[in-house]
Structure 1
Amino acid sequence: MEHLRLVAALSSLLVGTLPAVASAAPVLQAPMDPARAQHVAEYFPGLGVVVTGGFVATGAARSAARFDAAADAWTPLTAAPVDLWDADAVRLADGRWLALDASVGVVYDPSADVWLDVPALAGTHREQTTLGLLPDGDVLIVGGLQSPKTSLRFDPGTGTLADVRPLAEARSSPTVTALADGRVLAAGGWRWGYLVAWDSEIQEPLASAERYDPETDTWTAAAAMATPRERHAATLLTSGEVLVSGGHSIDVALEQDPFLVTASAERYDPVSDSWAPAAALHEARFDHTATRLPSGKVLVAGGRGAGGVLGSVEVYDPASDTWTLLPPMSTPRWLHTATYVPGYGVVIAGGTSGSITSPLSSVELYPLGQAEAGAACSIDDECVSDACVAGACGPDDSGGDGGPFDCAADRANTWPDGIGTLGLVGLGLCGLRRGRRLTASRR
């Protein structure tokens, strides 16, 4: 036991002597032209991050562009055939991209830079709807302002729309998450309600949830969340659970002002059909983005809080049930997009710091997998070594030179019986990194 304490102490001492560098911060990238908010974005290998739609200075947009992270440059693409306003989008099983707003639907083929109208989706009038992809490649279109108690099933292969499927409960703007078992979870959103204290109709945030089974083609009520929420975020974790974070909520006991922003988070287990509390966000927020990283962690950025638009960014670790604050964005924003680009990190584009009529052109990159040994870090994902220890990236132990701190030598059991102080320190660092890698492999 004394040997273990000595290893830990010496390891901490060595890490503490690494160069002091300011914590890794977002890097400004080439701005978008035009500036846009409430747009949609998707990453396509070999092409980059494609954005389209949203609000620009002249109104709703149909223009499209791609961002090349390697060149830090934007290139115009073929414009969509129609303006896209407050759209939702989903990557199709065949590699194409479907975008749908209140009245039109379009499909983008990235291999040919071609957009196609989807006549079957024209005039469906499903503002504030949400899309989900089914195992057979069909798209589920859930809820909406005009038809809040129905869903549609669209076949992108044939371009046909099947009959309406009733939801268990009316809801607009729910989160929709495709589960590992092929079902789809719809959680929260809002419905029209009545608040006695105000003697008024209100948009009431919902705690209820339901699941769609594509085999039976039916919706069934699921366990309800502990907290009503709309304009929250939902993310499928590598465990198969669903993380919901933040949102605009309501507490009717607060009669004068029952609406509030929540920092709470919950995890849904589809096997047991149950919700469990998760660690709360550092900052209450709604209308934020949530991006799952390759490590399984979830990066949450921006949105709106009780005091206005937020610039804060935090990362959730499902293994430890903890949130870690990253350096904030240079510009607070909501109605933005946050897209993971392999080999580079998370690209945060556009949005607005105020009204939708004042869109942003700025773009920021949170680099991942780029920081070398000794660089400051907040999470493992930032480091080449995938090891952030005491605020600094550890050395890359993917190989070794056989030196006293070579983890490969440690694994080969070449440490002498009469191990010295340097050997203990090296062994401690190897143990720390090995423990982290084992933890990551279990996620």
Structure 2
Amino acid sequence: MIRSVIFCFALVILFSVIVHVKPQVCYGMNQYDRCSKNTACGCLPIINTNQTAICGILEVNCSQFIPCKSLTNECDLLGAVCVQHPGCNDLPVCYPLSMGDERSCPITRNWINTGSMKYSRYMHQAIALVDGKVLVMGGIGDKAIAHKTAELYDGSVGIWTATGNMTYARFGHTASALKNGKILVTGGNGNGKYLNTAELYDPSTRTWTTTGNMSCTRFGHRASVLANGKVLVTGGDGRTQYLNTAELYDPSTETWTLTDSMKSARYRHTATVLTNGKVLVTGGYADVYMNTTELYDPTTETWTTVAAMNKAISLHTASLLSNGKVLITGGVTPVADTLKNALLFDPTTESWTSTSNMNHERHTHTASVLPTGEVLVTGGFYTTNTIGYSSTVLNSAELYNPTTETWTSVSNMTTARGMHTAFVLVNRKVLIAGGSNNESINSAEIY
């Protein structure tokens, strides 16, 4: 305790006497949490200070900083402290105290264009590989033709490279990262043919191989990776009927087995794996829009109905927050109204509460949970009287703060898009890829 007091006193002396500046200290905030009005600055942890942090610029060229001493994590540079910086792969660098204030934060656009995909696509899937690259596959391309193509995004250089094609062209499919590092793709629509096929992508060989088929064709279904490594597939459009069936894929045997059916048939719903291992399914469509929700228990392999949402919706998003709650945003209703509403599901009480509305109505958008715990919502469509994709396409984006339960608008994307994908990269940035603005898009941008 005495040592801590002495150090804190020394830190104050360093701040106020040696360099004659008063850097902005972060109190009660997590590592890299935003400490400025824009997203340019975050809390940089000062090494060896019991998690004291200063407000510093996040977007920097690491070469402008001197590394801290390897053994002591100290700085020879006068007026600098040793911090952990995300722009330097979390390595300790000497950060000038004169830059430790939000007033030094640059004005940021938030969005920058990155390399375009080889092919335009929407209703595709994107998923991270163990090496940090992002695999994009399938979707609808030019002339409304489904893709079997796949490509890889390398965030360190900002470029896309082609990888092996899938066996089947498909859109409206699912993609799941297995514990063995492979990617499982299931179902979808292959240019008018609904699919029950599944295939595996092996990152080590960059090739696809077919695996066991599902019990039935599915489009607009959902896939969830369970704690035991199996994949739960739920619902979907089976072409002749909407489905309430569910099945489990076992990666060790590459086979499917039916499990307990959902209480209600549905497609274009959401399925979220909760921190307790159960799977929450919400909303969707099956001749009518649905407000019902249910929970799947992997231990008993059974479904139970829980409290319904206050509105029947489809084409919404569901995000698992760091506090264990699930955030539902937007969607479209039975009368074709697009919603700005947001709801919170609490697994401990299995109940719903309303939270602040978004600033914009939207459906077929994306929602990404950031390392800060905030949720970034992007794009989508705004429909008022028709259900379809001739709606207004949105380029707006906004952030949800779970602590204050409030929304803040951020700068618009460079391209309006819906039915796109969003993925949080290992460098903590968000990759937006593809989508539709009444035409298939191949552009990508970074938040």
- TM-score higher than 0.5: yes
Counterpart for residue 32 of structure 1: 117
Deviation string for 1:353-399 (max 9, x for gaps)? 11xxx211111101xxxxxxxxxxxxxxxxxxxxxxxxxxxxxxxxx
Q: Which SS does the other structure have where 1:162 is aligned?
A: strand
Deviation string for 1:187-210 (max 9, x for gaps)? 000121xxxxxxxxxxx2211100
Aligned-residue offset at 1:41? 0.7
Q: How far apart, CA to CA, are the structure 1 residues paired with 2:102 and 2:225?
A: 49
Equivalences for residues 69-88 of structure 1 within 5 A: 69-88=155-174
Counterpart for residue 207 of structure 2: 114
Report whether the alignment pairs 1:89 with 2:175. Answer: yes
Q: Which runs of 4+ in 1 moved over 6 A?
A: 14-17
Q: Alpha carbons of 1:20 and 1:269: their partners in 2 closer, same or farther (altered >3 Å)?
A: closer
Report whether the alignment pairs 1:210 with 2:294. Answer: yes
Report whether the alignment pairs 1:189 with 2:284. Answer: yes
- One-letter amino acid of the structure 2 residue matched with residue 118 of structure 1: T
Q: Alpha carbons of 1:31 and 1:168: their partners in 2 closer, same or farther (altered >3 Å)?
A: same
Q: Alpha carbons of 1:218 and 1:332: their partners in 2 closer, same or farther (altered >3 Å)?
A: same
Counterpart for residue 260 of structure 2: 165
Counterpart for residue 273 of structure 2: 178
Aligned residues: 334
Match of 2:236 among 107, 126, 144: 144
Whether the 8 Å CA contact 1:183–1:214 is kept in 2: the answer is: yes
Whether the 8 Å CA contact 2:132–2:425 is kept in 1: the answer is: no
Counterpart for residue 347 of structure 2: 270
Counterpart for residue 201 of structure 1: none
Whether the 8 Å CA contact 1:69–1:344 is kept in 2: the answer is: no
Q: How far apart, CA to CA, are the structure 1 residues paired with 2:367 and 2:213?
A: 31
Percent identity, aligned pairs only, is 31
Aligned-residue offset at 1:156? 1.9
Q: Which SS does the other structure have where 1:331 is aligned?
A: coil
Q: How far apart, CA to CA, are the structure 1 residues paired with 2:419 and 2:282?
A: 20
Whether the 8 Å CA contact 2:371–2:428 is kept in 1: the answer is: no
Structure 2, unaligned stretches of length 5 or more? 1-21, 27-35, 37-97, 189-194, 384-390
- One-letter amino acid of the structure 1 residue matched with residue 285 of structure 2: W
Match of 1:243 among 319, 322, 327: 327
Whether the 8 Å CA contact 1:335–1:352 is kept in 2: the answer is: yes
Equivalences for residues 212-361 of structure 1 within 5 A: 212-250=296-334, 258-306=335-383, 308-354=392-438, 358-361=439-442
Q: How far apart, CA to CA, are the structure 2 residues paired with 1:39 and 1:259?
A: 24
- One-letter amino acid of the structure 2 residue matched with residue 281 of structure 1: M
Counterpart for residue 127 of structure 1: 219
Match of 2:445 among 364, 369, 376: 364
Q: Which SS does the other structure have where 2:337 is aligned?
A: strand
Deviation string for 1:262-294 (max 9, x for gaps)? 100111011111011111111010000111111
Aligned-residue offset at 1:20? 8.2
Q: Alpha carbons of 1:21 and 1:208: their partners in 2 closer, same or farther (altered >3 Å)?
A: same
Q: How far apart, CA to CA, are the structure 2 residues paired with 1:325 and 1:344?
A: 19
Whether the 8 Å CA contact 1:47–1:66 is kept in 2: the answer is: no
Q: How far apart, CA to CA, are the structure 1 residues paired with 2:249 and 2:434?
A: 30
Q: Alpha carbons of 1:136 and 1:352: their partners in 2 closer, same or farther (altered >3 Å)?
A: same
Q: Alpha carbons of 1:137 and 1:344: their partners in 2 closer, same or farther (altered >3 Å)?
A: closer
Q: Which SS does the other structure have where 1:55 is aligned?
A: coil
Q: Which SS does the other structure have where 2:343 is aligned?
A: strand
Whether the 8 Å CA contact 1:84–1:100 is kept in 2: the answer is: no
- One-letter amino acid of the structure 1 residue matched with residue 395 of structure 2: G
Q: How far apart, CA to CA, are the structure 1 residues paired with 2:109 and 2:120?
A: 26
Q: Which has the higher contact order (CA 8 A, sep 6+)?
A: 1
Q: Give the TM-score, by structure 1 length.
A: 0.72
Report whether the alignment pairs 1:56 with 2:134. Answer: no
Q: Which SS does the other structure have where 1:90 is aligned?
A: strand
- One-letter amino acid of the structure 1 residue matched with residue 148 of structure 2: R
Q: Which SS does the other structure have where 2:118 is aligned?
A: coil
Q: Alpha carbons of 1:29 and 1:170: their partners in 2 closer, same or farther (altered >3 Å)?
A: same
Q: Which SS does the other structure have where 1:319 is aligned?
A: coil
Whether the 8 Å CA contact 2:226–2:277 is kept in 1: the answer is: yes
Whether the 8 Å CA contact 2:425–2:431 is kept in 1: the answer is: yes
Q: Which SS does the other structure have where 1:18 is aligned?
A: helix
Deviation string for 1:152-176 (max 9, x for gaps)? 1121221111125211112112100
Aligned-residue offset at 1:16? 10
Aligned-residue offset at 1:148? 1.8
Q: How far apart, CA to CA, are the structure 2 residues paired with 1:17 and 1:84?
A: 47
Q: How far apart, CA to CA, are the structure 2 residues paired with 1:172 and 1:38?
A: 14
Whether the 8 Å CA contact 1:120–1:159 is kept in 2: the answer is: no
Structure 1, unaligned stretches of length 5 or more? 1-6, 193-203, 251-257, 367-443
Q: Give the TM-score, by structure 2 length.
A: 0.71
